[in-house]
Every structure is written in C-alpha cells, then in structure tokens.
Amino acid sequence: MLKLLKIVGAAGCLLLSVAFVFQDEPEKENDPRKIDVVVIDPGHGGHDSGTRGRTARESRTTLKIALALGKKIKAEMPEVKVLYTRTSDVFIELDERSAYANRNKADLFISIHCNASPSSRSALGTETYVMGLHKSEGNLEVAKRENSVILQEKDYKQKYKGFDPTSPLAHIMLANYQSAFLSSSLRFAGHVEEQFRKLSRRKSRGVKQAGFIVLWRTTMPSVLVETGFLSNPTEEAYLNSSSGQDEVAESVFNAFKQYRREMERY
C-alpha cells in the first residue's frame, strides 16, 4: 500500500515523502534478538531422494544430520524449542517447509542438503547459501537442481505462481524477494562455514547467494547448508558415516551457539 506522508516545513511549503509498505510481509511478534525457536529442515524425502552417490541418498543423509543437530541443541540448550519439517523419510512440499517455520514463529530456519557435481567426481567441500542474486553460473545450477523438486508436486504452476525451475530469469526474480533478514542470514552462514573449516578442516567453498524456493517465504533468517558432495566418493563415504554426520552436525551446532550468543548480546 502506498502511503503519502505530509510534512509542512517552516516556510509553509508542502513536502511529500513516499514510503512503500508491503502488506504481505508479516511482522515478527517476538524480539528478533531472541533465538528461542529453530526449525531444522532435512532436504528432500520420500519419493524425492535428492542427489545420490554410489550408495547414499541425500534424503536419508540429511535426515540423520538434521536429527543429530537438533539433539545437540536440545542437550545443551533445553530452553530452545527445536522443530523439524520432517522426522522420517517422507516427502514434504517446499512451500510447506517455509510455511511450517512461519506458523511456529521460528527465529532461525536451517535447511540441510548434500551437493552433487554432474561434471566432476573430484568436486568437494561445503557451501552455505542465503537467499539472494546468483553470483555465478554454479550458484544458479545448484538452485535449479534443488528447486526442481516442485516438478513432483501437484499443481505446482498455480502454487508457485507460474515459477519455472528451469528458467534463469525466474530464479533471479525469486532471489529478489527476501531481503529483510539477509544480514542475519549472512552472519549465521558465515559461522557455519567457519566451523566447517575449524572443526573438521574441510574445504569451505564459502557463503553464497541464490534463489531457493525453500527460503523464499520464510519470515526469519534462513540458510541452506550444502554439507558436501555425494558425487565425490570420499565425501560420500564421510557423509554416509555416523562419525561424519555427527561432525557435520557439531559444526552447525557450534555456529548456532555463536550466532545465538551474538544476537542476544546485541
């Protein structure tokens, strides 16, 4: 809605100042500095297995990492409410994942995924995404792969307002949607990649921006964590092991502790 604010100056001149208010942007009722509710989203699930390695399936690996992460948060911070978009190998539509976080007034949304490189089995490392413009063709390809999940949903054209997951232009337009929580999202994403480097000495491919549907309508800081490449046999073995999954969860948990401490301090 367009509001015109009338301001009368000392000389009696009428000045018009224009402010744009987006009514579809719900206001947070709680203190944005408080991190009391976190929603953890294991990517894919059910008939949508995500990317695959020789034996690993993304949907199963992300679920194990997500549950391990939530368990660590609950053990050390019982006052934090931990919720999951799924706790078993079932399919959850992308828009429902963000809607679930919004309904529960989450303070942080963490989507866990595994990466893949169709052109190279040697690609490896972690990368954490926030909603934003694509900075490279590689970022776009990751977003297009993750967003292609909607093709398995009924009436996806109506639900996502004609969004075409194969169109680069559609992804750029999508990436412009959420900016209100970009700064906090970048802060948390930076801590995640820092912990991957420090705790497990894994290669960090950095914090990146791309248009992900799962982050599109979240009304809180949100990130999508690519925990490694299942297309790389070494990383697949690591991510498929209980020790590797626990180490990934520990890295994200340490980042969460640091982020929560900083947000509540300031």
Q: What is the pLDDT of residues 80-133, one digit of tens each?
A: 999 999 999 999 988 899 889 999 999 999 999 999 998 899 999 999 999 876
User: How many CB atoms are located within 10 Å of the residue 16 CB?
Assistant: 8
Nearest-angstrom CA–CA distance, 3 and 69: 45
Pairing of strands 37-42, 222-229: unpaired
218 pLDDT higher than 60? yes
pLDDT (tens digit per residue) in 129-157: 998 764 445 545 655 555 555 555 556 55
**What is residue 155's predicted lDDT score, i.e. its pLDDT?**
62
| Residue environment code for 168-193, b if the CB has 16+ CB neighbours within 10 A, otherwise e | eebbeebbeebeebeebbbbbbbbbb
For the residues of 166-210, what is the DSSP string, one character each? T-HHHHHHHHTS--TTHHHHHHHHHHHHHHHHHHH-PPEEEEEEE
Averaged pLDDT of the chain = 80
CATH topology of domain 36-265: Aminopeptidase (3.40.630)
Q: In terms of pTM, does the model score above 0.85? A: no
- Percent of the chain scoring above 90 in pLDDT: 58
187 pLDDT higher than 70? yes
Q: How many CA atoms lie within 13 A of 153 on its CB side?
A: 21
Three-state DSSP class for residue 215: helix
Nearest-angstrom CA–CA distance, 262 and 6: 39
Distance of CA 91 to the CA centre of its chain: 17
DSSP state of 92: -
